Amino acid sequence: AQSVTQLDSHVSVSEGTPVLLRCNYSSSYSPSLFWYVQHPNKGLQLLLKYTSAATLVKGINGFEAEFKKSETSFHLTKPSAHMSDAAEYFCVVSDLRSPEKLTFGTGTRLTIIP
Amino acid sequence: GAGVSQSPSNKVTEKGKDVELRCDPISGHTALYWYRQRLGQGLEFLIYFQGNSAPDKSGLPSDRFSAERTGESVSTLTIQRTQQEDSAVYLCASSLSTGGQVYGYTFGSGTRLTVV
């Protein structure tokens, strides 16, 4: 079975400082990994995805994530936080055996301090 | 439409009543998914439709839950005899064919169901 662990339920950073949201996954088959963002009262939006191509994936709004198989990690980073980045972030995994079933992490709430 | 549309956006119902939630996927998206998001938790997979194939119902939590889809368009999720533990945000998503892994999934804004 596949699973995702988001190591921090809440992260606070100051505006202009780096962001790191941690995610570890477990999958018996070749995983696909995603990060989604959910702003208050809005739908989930795809930030970026890894599907066995380049291990460093660049997404929208300056976010990127690196797939590290040896560490089973897919941490989300951004060099400089902006106030508009405040939201809930979900790490998501699917695998070749059940490609259409997404397994979501419990989410990390990112707060930006002015 | 431009995005995935869900209705109603909010629904308050009394325990024991039936509710119907509606999802309009993006035109041309043959794959449609329902997920449930309980407060403070990640999303739970409920059911998946792909074209005219039999739906994958493996995530439905009980026989009180059912879903239908008309061709490759609208889907309705029905919860019979609602219980308080059914209170959650119900999210619908669609994707191109079975390409969710490649193209990503587009989610609606959800229906917030409150059972009182």
Average pLDDT of each block of 10 consecutive residues along chain B (116 residues)?
Answer: 88 97 92 90 88 88 94 92 96 77 79 96
Q: Examine the pLDDT at A7 and tell me if it is beyond 90.
A: yes
pLDDT for position A103: 87
- A67 in contact with B, Cβ within 8 Å: no
Asked if A105 lies within 8 A of B50 by C-beta distance, the reply is no
pLDDT for position B100: 57
Q: Which of B42, B91, B100 sits opposite A105 (nearest CB)?
A: B42
Asked if A94 lies within 8 A of B101 by C-beta distance, the reply is yes
Minimal-distance CA residue of chain B relative to A48:
B104
d(CA A89, CA B99): 22
Q: Identify whether B8 is preceded by a cis peptide bond (ω within 30 of 0).
A: yes
Of A61-75, A85-99, B45-59, which has the strongest mean pLDDT? A61-75
Asked if B108 lies within 8 A of A43 by C-beta distance, the reply is yes
Cα distances (angstroms) measured from residue A7 to each of A20, A60, A64, B102: 11, 22, 18, 26
Asked if A51 lies within 8 A of B43 by C-beta distance, the reply is no
Domain range annotation of chain B: 16-97
Residue A38 tokens read as 């959910």
d(CA A74, CA A64): 10
pLDDT for position A95: 75
> What residues in chain B have their Cβ under 8 A from chain A's Cβ atoms?
3-4, 31, 33, 35, 40-45, 48, 50, 56, 59, 91, 93, 98, 100-102, 104-110
Asked if A42 lies within 8 A of B91 by C-beta distance, the reply is no
For the domain covering B16-97, report its CATH number: 2.60.40.10
Minimal-distance CA residue of chain A relative to B4:
A43
What chain A holds in terms of domains, given with CATH numbers, is: 3-113 (2.60.40.10)
